[in-house]
Structure 1
Amino acid sequence: MSVQLAVEHFDHQTRYYPANGGWRIDAASRCIVIGKGLPRTHIPLDNVVAWRVESVPPTTRED
């Protein structure tokens, strides 16, 4: 099962970020940091209204 972060910004956009590599909130830089290795994604908390962790159902491919 995969997980993703759904992040709602102040401009009413919701963006989805894959979070299988983990995520954390960095209080010093006031960011959500997604990923443990490189590259990492940094989302400033000043632009965020809400976030939630969602499970992503497995996809099936039909060839």
Structure 2
Amino acid sequence: MIIAIDNTDEESLHKIATAVMEAKRKIAPNARGTIVIGDEKSLPHKVLELLNNKEG
């Protein structure tokens, strides 16, 4: 699942990320999740970096 949120500030993004991870822990405690916060230009690089780290 990929969720994209724009037109908000960084503090709100962190609150949203916390809520999503809390919901994941309650609903699917054994599931794995990664949240990436960044601007449009850095996100593709960060996502690729995370994927490469998981494969290696």
Q: Which has the higher contact order (CA 8 A, sep 6+)?
A: 1
Task: Report the structure number with the largest CA radius of gyration.
Answer: 1
Structure with the largest fraction of helix: 2
Structure with the largest fraction of strand: 1
TM-score (norm 2): 0.30
